[in-house]
C-alpha cells in the first residue's frame, strides 16, 4: 500500500511535488558566496561613499527587455505573509533583502514579521539565502515593514513600525545587522532604536547610507515636542560610532498633520536626506503635500532649496521619495495615498536637480496611464539620478483581479523620461495597496537590475530582472555573461554545454522536484494545497483550491486532478475541475485517491452547518463522474469528511465525523463530541455506498475520534485518531 499524508497546512499557497532521484541525475553545488564574487559581471562600480560627483549616464541600446534573472525567490509559503512588501538590493543587484511583515510563523508569533536576505550563487545559478532568518519580537510588530541594504549588501537595516512598548501600541523601531562571513550569520550592530512617542509608527520611512553606517528613520505619526502638534511627523538620522548609534543633529519635524517622515531617503554618503510630508497643508487648508531636502553641516540639518510642493488638494506630494547618490537629484511621487480623484495634478512623479541652491525640474512629469488605478506608491532612483523605477496597479484592489506593474524610465538628452523595456507584472497586496506596497521595488546603482516584490496574499515572492537587448530564454544551466560596456549579446546556439561535476558528498538518493510547481494562474484562487492526495505510484495527484468562479457565485472549494507526463516532465490536468456548492469553502478540505488514481474522494466537513459530506468520483475517459450518493453526516456539527481514506481499489472508504455524538438526533447539535468513523463499500449494481458494519464511536467526551483515519489496502483494517481522548487530552 502507499502512504498518505493526513496533516494539512492552513497556510499553503502552492504545491511542489518532490520525488526521490539518484545523485547521477542531478548535481547540486553548495559553494558559499565569497566577498570577491559579490558583483554581477555586468554591474557598474558601487557608489563611492562621500563622493559628490555623480557618474556619467550609461547609454541604453534598443530594443530593451527586462529578463527575469534565474529563479523566483520564495519564502516558506505562508498565506498573507506579505513577503516582498519591502525589498532592497545591493548596489550591484546581486544581494537582495526582503521583508514579510505579516509572517506568523511559530518562531515569530502572529504577524510579528520576518526578514530574509538572498544572494545569487554563480556556480549553481540559483538564489540562496544568506545567513539566518530574522524574526520580529512580538505579535503584530510588523518587523520587515521596510528593509534597506548597504552598497555591498552586508549591512541590513530593518524596521518594525507597529512595535509595542509599555506605553502603548504602534511605537516602532529599527535595527541594523552586519553579516559575519565566517559564522555565516547576521549580528545586530548596536542597540535597537525605538520611537520617542506612543503610536509614532517609527520606521515607516527608512533609509541606509552606502557604507551602512548612517540611518534615517521617519515616524509619520509623531505628535511633536509640544501640545496640539498631532501627526506632525519626525525624521531622525543616526550614525554608528563604532560602539552604538548616535543621533546626528536634532530631529527634523513637520507641521500639524503633515505626516513628515512617511518617506525618507539618504544620499550615498549619508550627508543629505530627502523627507516626504504627503499631507502638508498650504494656503486655504489644501493638503498639497511636499518634500524637503536637508544637508548635514556643522552638526545641524540645513534645508537645501525651497519646499517642493504639490499642486492638487489631496494629491499627497511626497508620498514616496528617492535621492541620487550625490544628493543633487530627487524624485518625488504624488501617488494618492487614499483613493483620491484622478485629476491632472494627481498621480505623477516629478524629478528635480539642484543647481545654485535652487531645485529645477528635470524633464516632464511622469503620469499614470488611464487604465491604472494607483500609481507610484514606491519609487527608486539609480545612482546617477537618470533612471527611475516606480510601481503602479491596474484593476480593483478589493478583489482578485488587481495587477501590479513595475516600470522603469530613463532620462533622454536631459529633457524627456522614456520608458525602458516592458512593464514587469507582479501581484499587489490586495485590500491594501494604499500603504502596503510602499517598498516593493528597488533599482541597482546603474539602473540595469530591478528587484520586484510580489506580496499578494496567495502568491508572495521576489523576482530579480536585468535589462537586456533581447528577450532572454536561457537554459537552466547557462551562466550570466553580460558586460557593462555593451548590450547583452544573444547566447550562441553553438556554445558548448557546461559540464556539471558531481558533488562527492551528495547522497545516492535525495528529494528532487518532480515537474513544475502547481499554482493556479487564473484570478480568484487562494489556499491552493490546503489538501492534497496521491496515487500509489505518485503519477496522479489531487490538489484543493478555494476560489470564486463568478461574482454571483459564493466562495467555494474545488479539486483539480493532475497526471504526470513522463516525456515532457510536466503535470497536466486530468478532467475538469470538481467544484463544490456556492459558499461551500470546506469542499476539498480532505481528499483521498485510489492506488491507480481512477477514484477520488472529496470531503467537505463544513457542509450544511458543519453536518459534513463526502463525494466519491470515478474517472470516465475524459471527466470525473460522481459515484453513488453523497455520504452526509446525520447531525449538525458532525463534521463528516475531515478524516478520509480509500482502499487500494477505491471501493471501500473510511469517513470520520470528529464532532459526532451518538446521543443526539437529527434536530439537535452534538455536544459531547466523542466523534465516530463509518466504513462504506460501493455496490456497483445499485450505484450506492452501503455501510460496512456499524459506526465506530470514540470512548470519552470531547475525544473527537475520526479526526484522522487510514485504511489498509484491502479495506479490512482501519486506524482511527482521537486526539483528545481522556480527561487529560492524552489522545
Among 216, 172, 162, 175, which Cα is nearest to 196's?
172
Residue 450, pLDDT > 90, answer yes
Q: How many helices (H) and strands (E) does the chain have?
A: 2, 57
Burial class (CB in 10 A: 0-12, 13-18, 19+), 332: buried
CA separation for the pair 305, 354 (Å, rounded): 8
Q: For residue 244, give the C-alpha cell.
A: 552604538
Q: What confidence score (pLDDT) does residue 164 get?
A: 77
CA dihedral 330, 331, 333, 334 (to 10 degrees): 60
Rounded to a whole number of angstroms, the distance between the first and last alpha carbons of the chain is 26
Q: How far is CA 614 from CA 473, 641, 696, 723, in A?
A: 45, 6, 17, 22
Q: Which residues of 316-326 are buried (b: 16+ CB within 10 A; e: fewer)?
A: bbbbbbbbbbb
Cell of 509: 538518493
CA distance 65 to 126: 21
| Closest C-alpha to 376, from 270, 266, 263, 215 | 263
Bridge partners for 426 per DSSP: 404
Q: List, in order, residues 6 or more apart from 135 with CB less than 8 Å away.
A: 105, 107, 108, 112, 113, 114, 143
Cell numbers found for residue 318: 511626497
3-state per-residue secondary structure call for 277-326: ECCCEECCCEECEEEEEEEEECCEEEECCCCEECCCCCCCECCEEEECCC
Contact 89, 81 (CB under 8 A): no
d(CA 480, CA 42): 8
Q: Do domains 65-468 and 528-721 have the same CATH topology?
A: yes
Integer Cα distance of 85 and 451 in angstroms:
11
At 526-572, the pLDDT tens digits run 678 889 999 999 999 999 987 766 555 567 888 999 999 988 889 99
* Cα dihedral 18, 22, 25, 28 sign: positive
Per-residue pLDDT, averaged over 417-426, amounts to 92
Region 528-721: CATH code? 2.130.10.130
Nearest alpha-carbon partner for 104 in 79, 73, 129, 84: 79
CA-CA distances (angstroms) from residue 122 to 29, 418, 479, 503?
10, 32, 7, 16
Domain ranges, ordered by start, for the chain: 65-468, 528-721
Residue-wise pLDDT for 39-64, tens only, equals: 343 333 333 343 433 344 455 656 78
φ and ψ of 314, to 5 deg: 85, 0
How far is Cα 584 from Cα 556, in angstroms, rounded to an integer? Answer: 5
Residue whose C-alpha cell is 489644501: 286
Q: What is the pLDDT of residue 551?
A: 58
> Is the pLDDT at 142 greater than 70, yes or no?
yes
The average pLDDT across 612-620 equals 95
Q: Quick one: which of 158, 268, 267 has its CA closest to 211? A: 268
Q: Which CATH class is domain 65-468?
A: mainly beta
218 Cα distance to chain centroid: 24
Mean pLDDT of 356-360: 95
**In angstroms, rounded to a whole number, what is the distance separating the alpha carbons of residues 422 and 432?**
25
Structure-block grid coordinates of residue 470: 533581447
Q: What is the structure's pLDDT at 137?
A: 87
- Specify the DSSP element, H or E, that contains 71: none
Q: What are phi and psi of 608, to 5 degrees?
A: 50, 65
Out of 124-128, 222-226, 319-323, 691-695, which region has the weakest mean confidence (pLDDT)? 222-226
Cα(214)–Cα(271) distance, integer angstroms: 9
168-191 residue pLDDT tens? 667 899 999 999 999 999 999 999
H or E element, residue 434: helix 433-436
pLDDT tens digits, 74-128: 877 667 788 899 999 999 999 999 999 988 866 667 888 999 999 999 899 999 9
Q: Return the HEC string of 445-462.
A: CCCCEEEEEECCCCCCEE
DSSP 612: B
Give the integer Cα–Cα distance in Å for 448 and 318.
25
The CA distance from 146 to 701, in Å, is: 49
Cβ atoms < 10 Å from Cβ of 495: 10
pLDDT at residue 670, rounded to an integer = 43
Count the alpha carbons within 13 Å of 500 in the hemisphere toward its beta carbon.
Answer: 17
Rounded Cα gap, residues 537 and 571, in angstroms: 14
Highest mean pLDDT among 239-248, 505-514, 516-525: 239-248
From CA 18, how far away is CA 162, in angstroms rounded?
38
The residue assigned the cell 508569533 is 109
Confidence of residue 254 (pLDDT cuts 50, 70, 90): very high
Q: Show the beta-strand stretches assigned E in 1-54.
A: 18-22
Whole-angstrom CA distances from 480 to 94, 267, 476 are 12, 30, 11
Cβ-based neighbours of 73, under 8 Å, separated by 6 or more: 96, 98, 118, 127, 461, 462, 463, 464
Q: Give the pLDDT score at 382.
A: 97
3-state secondary structure of 610: helix
Pick from 274, 151, 267: which is nearest to 210 by CA?
Answer: 151
CB atoms within 10 A of CB 139: 14
| Digit-coded pLDDT (tens) for 185-235 | 999 999 999 998 888 899 999 999 999 999 999 999 998 777 666 889 999
Q: Is the dihedral of CA 224, 230, 232, 235 positive or negative?
A: positive
In angstroms, the CA 3 to CA 456 distance is: 34
Q: What is the pTM of this model?
A: 0.61
Residue 141 to residues 165, 201, 264, 293, Cα–Cα distance (Å):
10, 10, 21, 30
C-alpha cell at 13: 499557497
Instruction: Provide the percentage of residues in the chain whose pLDDT is more than 90.
Output: 51
CA separation, residue 437 to residues 36, 162, 319, 349, 474 (Å): 34, 16, 12, 16, 30
Amino acid at each position: 500500500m502507499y502512504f498518505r499524508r493526513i496533516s494539512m497546512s492552513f497556510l499553503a499557497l502552492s504545491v511542489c511535488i518532490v520525488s526521490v532521484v539518484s545523485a547521477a541525475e542531478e548535481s547540486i553545488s553548495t559553494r558559499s558566496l565569497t566577498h570577491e564574487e559579490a558583483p554581477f559581471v555586468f554591474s557598474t562600480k558601487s557608489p563611492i561613499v562621500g563622493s559628490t560627483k555623480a557618474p556619467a549616464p550609461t547609454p541604453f541600446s534598443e530594443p530593451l527587455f527586462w529578463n527575469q534573472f534565474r529563479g523566483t525567490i520564495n519564502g516558506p509559503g505562508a498565506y498573507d505573509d506579505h513577503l516582498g512588501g519591502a525589498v532592497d538590493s545591493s548596489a550591484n543587484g546581486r544581494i537582495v533583502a526582503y521583508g514579510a511583515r505579516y509572517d506568523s510563523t511559530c518562531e515569530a508569533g502572529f504577524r510579528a514579521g520576518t526578514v530574509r536576505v538572498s544572494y545569487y550563487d554563480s556556480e549553481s545559478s540559483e538564489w540562496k539565502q544568506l545567513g539566518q532568518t530574522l524574526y520580529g519580537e512580538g505579535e503584530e510588530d510588523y518587523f520587515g515593514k521596510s528593509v534597506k541594504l548597504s552598497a555591498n549588501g552586508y549591512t541590513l537595516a530593518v524596521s518594525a513600525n507597529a512595535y509595542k512598548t509599555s506605553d502603548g501600541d504602534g511605537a516602532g523601531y529599527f535595527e541594523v545587522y552586519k553579516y559575519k562571513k565566517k559564522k555565516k550569520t547576521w549580528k545586530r550592530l548596536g542597540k535597537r532604536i525605538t520611537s520617542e512617542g506612543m503610536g509614532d509608527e517609527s520606521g515607516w520611512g527608512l533609509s541606509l547610507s552606502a557604507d551602512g553606517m548612517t540611518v534615517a528613520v521617519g515616524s509619520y505619526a509623531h505628535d511633536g515636542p509640544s501640545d496640539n502638534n498631532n501627526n506632525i511627523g519626525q525624521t531622525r538620522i543616526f550614525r554608528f560610532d563604532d560602539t552604538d548609534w548616535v543621533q546626528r543633529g536634532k530631529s527634523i519635524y513637520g507641521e500639524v498633520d503633515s505626516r513628515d517622515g512617511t518617506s525618507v531617503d539618504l544620499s550615498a554618503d549619508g550627508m543629505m536626506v530627502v523627507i516626504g510630508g504627503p499631507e502638508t497643508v498650504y494656503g486655504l487648508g489644501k493638503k498639497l503635500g511636499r518634500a524637503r531636502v536637508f544637508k548635514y553641516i556643522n552638526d545641524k540639518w540645513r534645508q537645501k532649496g525651497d519646499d517642493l510642493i504639490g499642486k492638487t488638494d489631496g494629491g499627497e506630494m511626497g508620498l514616496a521619495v528617492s535621492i541620487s547618490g550625490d544628493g543633487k537629484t530627487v524624485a518625488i511621487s504624488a501617488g494618492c495615498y487614499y483613493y483620491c480623484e484622478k485629476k491632472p495634478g494627481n498621480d505623477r512623479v516629478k524629478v528635480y536637480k539642484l543647481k545654485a541652491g535652487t531645485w529645477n525640474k528635470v524633464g516632464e512629469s511622469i503620469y499614470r496611464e488611464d487604465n491604472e488605478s494607483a500609481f507610484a506608491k514606491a519609487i527608486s532612483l539609480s545612482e546617477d539620478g537618470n533612471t527611475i523605477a516606480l510601481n503602479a496597479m491596474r484593476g480593483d484592489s478589493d478583489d482578485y483581479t488587481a495587477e501590479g506593474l513595475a516600470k522603469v524610465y530613463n532620462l533622454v538628452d536631459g529633457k524627456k523620461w522614456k520608458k525602458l523595456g516592458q512593464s514587469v507584472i507582479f501581484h499587489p497586496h490586495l485590500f491594501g495597496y494604499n500603504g502596503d506596497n510602499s517598498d516593493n521595488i528597488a533599482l541597482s546603482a546603474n539602473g540595469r537590475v530591478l528587484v520586484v516584490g510580489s506580496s499578494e496574499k496567495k502568491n508572495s515572492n521576489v523576482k530579480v530582472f536585468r535589462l537586456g537587448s533581447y528577450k532572454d530564454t536561457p537554459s537552466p544551466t547557462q551562466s550570466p555573461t553580460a558586460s557593462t560596456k555593451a548590450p547583452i549579446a544573444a547566447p550562441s546556439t553553438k556554445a558548448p554545454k557546461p559540464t556539471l561535476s558531481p558533488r562527492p558528498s551528495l547522497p545516492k538518493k535525495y528529494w528532487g522536484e518532480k515537474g513544475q510547481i502547481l499554482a493556479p494562474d487564473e484570478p480568484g484562487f487562494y489556499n491552493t494545497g490546503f489538501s492534497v492526495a496521491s496515487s500509489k505510484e505518485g503519477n496522479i495527484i489531487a490538489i484543493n483550491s478555494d476560489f470564486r468562479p463568478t461574482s454571483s457565485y459564493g466562495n467555494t472549494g474545488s479539486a483539480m486532478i493532475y497526471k504526470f507526463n513522463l516525456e515532457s516532465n510536466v503535470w497536466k490536468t486530468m478532467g475538469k475541475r470538481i467544484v463544490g456548492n456556492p459558499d461551500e469553502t470546506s469542499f476539498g478540505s480532505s481528499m483521498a485517491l485510489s492506488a491507480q488514481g481512477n477514484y477520488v474522494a472529496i470531503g467537505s466537513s463544513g457542509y450544511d452547518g458543519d453536518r459534513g459530506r463526502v463525494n466519491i468520483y470515478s474517472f470516465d475517459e475524459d471527466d470525473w463522474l460522481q459515484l453513488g450518493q453523497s455520504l452526509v453526516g446525520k447531525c449538525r456539527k458532525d463534521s463528516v469528511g475531515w478524516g478520509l481514506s480509500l482502499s487500494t481499489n477505491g471501493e471501500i472508504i473510511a469517513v470520520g465525523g470528529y464532532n459526532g455524538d451518538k446521543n443526539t438526533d437529527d434536530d439537535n447539535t452534538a455536544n459531547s463530541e466523542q466523534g465516530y468513523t463509518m466504513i462504506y463499500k460501493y455496490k456497483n449494481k445499485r450505484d450506492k455506498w452501503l455501510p460496512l458494519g456499524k459506526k465506530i464511536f470514540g470512548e470519552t467526551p470531547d475525544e473527537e475520534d475520526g479526526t484522522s483515519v487510514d485504511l489498509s489496502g484491502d479495506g479490512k483494517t482501519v486506524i482511527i485518531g482521537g486526539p483528545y481522548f481522556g480527561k487529560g487530552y492524552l489522545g
